[in-house]
Amino acid sequence: MQESTFDDIGSTATNVGEGFTLVAVGDLMMRRPATKNQQSGFGDVVEILRSADATFGNLETNIFDTRTFKGSPQVNGDSYHVGPPELGDDLKRMGFNLLSFANNHTFDWGVEGMRETSRVLDESGIVYAGVGENLAQAGAARYLETARGRVALVSFAATFTPMSRACDPAGEAPGRAGLATLRLAHSIEVPREMLESLKQIRDALPNSVSHEAENRVVLSGATFKIGDKVTNSFEPNSSDVNDILRNVRQGKQFADFLIVSNHGHEPGEWSQEPPDYEQSLARRLIDTGADAYVGHGPHQLRGIEIYKGRPIFYSLGNFFFDNLQMVEGADYFAEHGKDPRVDTVADLLVEAMKEFPSTLFYQSIVAVSRYDDNRLVELRLFPVELGYSERLANRGVPRVAPAPSANAILQRVQKLSKPFGTEITIENGVGLVKLTSSSTLQRLR
């Protein structure tokens, strides 16, 4: 590790010990402990998770005992993600020591669920970021002490439920507990004839009052404009971006290595490409001090970029997609035409999981980054699959992908990463990201 002086306080350089290793995975949607089941093949994956100094994932599950919980689920039009208290220690046994908890399921059980989950993670000794009693706490970096340096995590969500956004105090109004967010202004370019049809729909709605320009329509929170073809665009809120950049800068000032985590579903779960804003934002965060950018949310893999020697993962997909013993409200049953007095949760899942019909949602990678001389010298991609064809009792738990599936997963990541100039070779079922001399030798100053 390099010696530093007080003059280095603004440095954005990586400053970890030789052999520092980061393991990053995607979304953790868990309903039960997984380390005790010796038949699932998960043990081989656990060995990879435990091999790192810092092991990171996005926790998309609340953790508490539903029998004693004093709160209630929020109406969110989706499933209520929750697992038992044993999950905290189980995540620790897997090797996780850094988690993002800022996503669209953080408030499935309201602020009470967020607080109870935070308590379990604290007791389990897992560092997490992205939530707090106000916006300042939610957006702040959290720190993990390792043998090879201090690691910081800044976490936020671009996809979130309306009342889950944290807020700072203002005047006599107190702050609001919640998560750190990145608000996005959504605009869609459409052909002129489509825009005219949208105007008719808008004008037919009750209490419709139009103050818009002739060449645009606002519907369902999106602004439609005239274009040659249908194109989605997202503009980040400048105030949110400035807050995130400040938290990254301050986080790196007090750490040797900093990870930024962004949970977003944009432009949609149908897309294998990131939204238009994300590349420029990820690069800007790295310029400010981030050593790795980890995106997640769309439930499937997206490409990988190496920028100034730092990895950008646009989505690592689902790492756990465990739907066993889901807790569902009556509104979710009704949405899928099921009756909770007659149908089981498994019956409901048959309908609900039609939203995820493809094996793509049950395939992922474990990304292992190794650093020497404060440079990224190796990035290995271990493909995993989550048992798409398994019965519900075993579905959704990661296991090392067999050869044919492993190659297919890695070939897809190859293709998705090519537009970012990233080359990936495949050796014995493992992906190796080519690190050019310019990417490995360049440091931020």
The string of pLDDT tens digits covering residues 346-363 is 777 666 666 666 788 999
Residues 302 and 295: their CA atoms lie apart, in Å, by 9
Q: Kindly state whether residue 337 falls inside one of the protein's structural domains.
A: no
pLDDT score for 378:
98
pLDDT score for 93:
97
Among 276, 227, 160, which Cα is nearest to 217's?
Answer: 227
Cβ atoms 372, 390 nearer than 8 A: no
pLDDT at 85 over 90: yes
pLDDT at 431 over 60: yes
362 and 220 inside one domain: no
Q: Residue range 408-420: average pLDDT?
A: 98
pLDDT score for 209:
63
pLDDT score for 357:
61
42 and 101 inside one domain: yes
Q: Kindly state whether residue 349 falls inside one of the protein's structural domains.
A: no
β-bridge partners, 232: 188
Q: Residue range 141-154: average pLDDT?
A: 98
Q: Kindly state whether residue 340 falls inside one of the protein's structural domains.
A: no
β-bridge partners, 149: 146
Domain end: 192, 212, 232, which one? 232
Q: How confident is the model at residue 440 (pLDDT cuts 50, 70, 90)?
A: very low
40 and 116 inside one domain: yes
Tokens of 187: 């605009």
Q: Kindly state whether residue 347 falls inside one of the protein's structural domains.
A: no
Q: How confident is the model at residue 443 (pLDDT cuts 50, 70, 90)?
A: very low
Query: What kind and span of H or E run contains 123?
Result: helix 110-124
Cβ atoms 72, 62 nearer than 8 A: no
433 and 302 inside one domain: yes
pLDDT score for 330:
73
pLDDT digits (tens, 9 = 90+) for 300-322: 999 999 999 999 999 999 999 98
pLDDT at 246 over 60: yes
270 and 384 inside one domain: yes
Cβ atoms 144, 52 nearer than 8 A: no
- Domains in the chain, number: 2
Query: What kind and span of H or E run contains 292?
Result: strand 292-296
Q: Residue range 56-67: average pLDDT?
A: 95
242 and 292 inside one domain: yes
Tokens of 110: 């309201």
77 and 213 inside one domain: no
Q: Say how many C-beta atoms besides its own lie within 10 A of residue 208's C-beta.
A: 9
pLDDT score for 211:
64
* Residue 409, CA distances (Å) to 265, 361, 431 in order: 21, 11, 10
pLDDT score for 11:
84
Cβ atoms 47, 55 nearer than 8 A: no
Q: Kindly state whether residue 317 falls inside one of the protein's structural domains.
A: yes
pLDDT at 366 over 50: yes
Q: Kindly state whether residue 344 falls inside one of the protein's structural domains.
A: no
44 and 98 inside one domain: yes
Residues 27 and 18: their CA atoms lie apart, in Å, by 29
Domain interval for residue 228: 184-232
Q: What is the mean pLDDT of the chain?
A: 90
pLDDT at 7 over 70: no
92 and 222 inside one domain: no
198 and 262 inside one domain: no
pLDDT at 78 over 70: no
Among 252, 279, 290, 276, which Cα is nearest to 143's?
Answer: 252
365 and 287 inside one domain: yes
pLDDT score for 202:
86
CATH code of the domain covering residue 286: 3.60.21.10
pLDDT score for 344:
81
Degrees, nearest 5: CA angle 383-386-391: 155
Among 333, 331, 386, which Cα is nearest to 356's?
Answer: 386
Q: Kindly state whether residue 283 falls inside one of the protein's structural domains.
A: yes
302 and 363 inside one domain: yes
Residues 278 and 236: their CA atoms lie apart, in Å, by 9
395 against 136, higher pLDDT? 136
Q: Kindly state whether residue 350 falls inside one of the protein's structural domains.
A: no
pLDDT at 441 over 80: no
Q: Print burial letters for 42-67: b (CB count within 10 Å at least 16), e (below 16).
A: beebeebbeebbbbbbbbbbbbbeee
